[in-house]
Chain A
């Protein structure tokens, strides 16, 4: 299973297994990674699973869709490589993915 590394705002790291076909948000929730709320349950409609993708990984993960963009755009914490983790599908190409968590989910 592809490995995903979540880095909390305070620097604490969590490396978890992601299940192919599920989302990176699911991987965080299933492994009790703190700092991902996922209030809408993965519908791309709340922005509380916000992650900042490591720059090196951003081209692999890719840009947000229009709907995701409209949610990210509302977020004052947004960074250039921000994504909603419920919209990143786990696949073999992202094995080793590094994402950082914002200080707070909004």
Chain B
């Protein structure tokens, strides 16, 4: 969201094996786009797992790269605060968007509880049939034997439909949700907006649209969509407009980017590992376990950040009150001390659920069960229709150190 990130565009990159640690530039978004970031994280895990960067476009910050250390930071919210922002990049002080993921207790707990019911199992059981029907319809509409962009035709379409349902959002406008989600998290170099003012104007248009929906629903009781829940919830009904927008962005991005990129990532992982694809075809009962493995392998959000509320110590490093602390989930999910053979994509991996992608502690992903269900259903429906979703070209990755995803994944479908 800041122009600072643009600077990396012109930099040439260093050799990950020899670059001095103080110049490792672990934050660089271009490495996520070029898919060159892995060896830099491997180096930190090995040589300096709790690493301090004194200067960067995001200011000074600590990098936490090992599984257990990330677990420690994530579960000590009384030391590592989420208040005021959960990404490496600080919020724009002129355009603050309070949202419950970026709050500490008690307000966090109250707001989260207001909406968590919508993705709780009783509601999910009701949603599964709808998701299955829609996934089936989307898959049936795809041309067989032609090259298509899986990201747009399936991953985005399915998650946009799901979000529209959760918000009870006008169905024909559902791609607005995708647009606002992308707009909210896009890097300045993405080309999605011309200026910060343009980005803000688009997000305010989102607020305006949703305010209309709020006003339509605020006087009707009993709605079980997210907007009605916010409009009637005790801790959310008097939110200022920017806090409404903040929480909307949280729910839209949380329900959109992450699942979208895991749907795409699964196709890519299976193509890169034909043995695993064969295992899957032979035994579709592996799907639930595979879903967890896809979510680990993809790690759709590379990091979350905290800020130390007091002086503390981690692996002998002294973290000072006020320091920014970035938990690199993407690195922890490849930590060879916590996960056996972490580079491998294994759909029957034991303990596949023990990954960091949902975070841990009180901010653990609220929609994790919905995400898993969407992925499970989409794979069940794919296997009913196609022998293979074949990747036929290079994926285009997103230039971001936060959203780890794809804008394009060219595939060709092969019928059973």
A→B interface (CB under 8 Å)? 37-41, 43-48, 67, 70-71, 73-74, 76-77, 103-104, 106
B75 contacts A45, CB within 8 Å?
yes
Q: Residue B362 contacts which of A41, A70, A106 (CB distance < 8 angstroms)? A: A70
Given A39-B354, A70-B105, check contact A76 B120 (CB 8 Å): yes
Q: Mark B250-263, 1 if CB is under 8 A from A, else 0.
A: 00000000000000
The interface stretch among B88-96, B111-119, B216-224, B226-234 is B111-119
Which residue of A is nearest B75, CB measured?
A45
A45 contacts B121, CB within 8 Å?
no
On chain B, the residues within 8 Å of A43 by CB distance are 71, 75, 360
Given A45-B74, A45-B75, A106-B369, check contact A74 B362 (CB 8 Å): yes
B113 contacts A45, CB within 8 Å?
no
Q: Specify which of B109, B122, B360, B368 lies most central, judged by the most chain A CB atoms within 10 Å of its CB.
A: B360
B360 contacts A74, CB within 8 Å?
no
The answer for the CA separation of A16 and B95 in the assembled complex, in Å, is: 56
Q: Residue B116 contacts which of A39, A45, A74, A103 (CB distance < 8 angstroms)? A: A74
On chain B, the residues within 8 Å of A103 by CB distance are 121-122
A46 contacts B364, CB within 8 Å?
yes
B71 contacts A77, CB within 8 Å?
no
On chain B, the residues within 8 Å of A67 by CB distance are 75
Supplied contacts A45-B75, A46-B360, 10 more A-B pairs, CB within 8 Å: A38-B353, A39-B353, A45-B360, A45-B361, A70-B109, A74-B112, A74-B113, A74-B116, A103-B121, A104-B120
Q: Mark B52-88, 1 if CB is under 8 A from A, else 0.
A: 0000000000000000000100110100000000000
On chain A, the residues within 8 Å of B358 by CB distance are 39, 46
Q: Residue B360 contacts which of A37, A40, A73, A106 (CB distance < 8 angstroms)? A: A40
Q: Which 5 A-B pairs give the minimum distances between C-beta atoms?
A: A104-B121, A45-B360, A45-B75, A76-B120, A39-B353
On chain A, the residues within 8 Å of B361 by CB distance are 45, 71
B300 to chain A, nearest CB (A): 16
On chain A, the residues within 8 Å of B120 by CB distance are 76-77, 104, 106
B354 contacts A76, CB within 8 Å?
no
Q: Could you show 6 A-B contacts with beta carbons less than 8 Å apart?
A: A45-B71, A47-B364, A70-B105, A70-B362, A104-B124, A106-B120
B342 to chain A, nearest CB (A): 15
Considering only residues 336-369 of chain B, those with a C-beta below 8 Å from chain A are 351, 353-354, 358, 360-362, 364, 368-369
Q: Residue A41 contacts which of B75, B109, B354 (CB distance < 8 angstroms)? A: B354
The answer for the CA separation of A39 and B360 in the assembled complex, in Å, is: 9
B105 to chain A, nearest CB (A): 7
Which residue of B is nearest A39, CB measured?
B353
B121 contacts A71, CB within 8 Å?
no
Which residue of A is nearest B77, CB measured?
A70
The answer for the CA separation of A37 and B291 in the assembled complex, in Å, is: 14
Given A44-B75, A46-B360, A106-B369, check contact A76 B353 (CB 8 Å): no
The answer for the CA separation of A53 and B85 in the assembled complex, in Å, is: 37
On chain A, the residues within 8 Å of B113 by CB distance are 73-74, 76
The answer for the CA separation of A74 and B234 in the assembled complex, in Å, is: 16
On chain A, the residues within 8 Å of B353 by CB distance are 37-39, 48
The answer for the CA separation of A31 and B71 in the assembled complex, in Å, is: 26
A77 contacts B354, CB within 8 Å?
no
On chain B, the residues within 8 Å of A39 by CB distance are 353-354, 358
Given A39-B354, A46-B360, check contact A74 B109 (CB 8 Å): yes
The answer for the CA separation of A63 and B307 in the assembled complex, in Å, is: 31
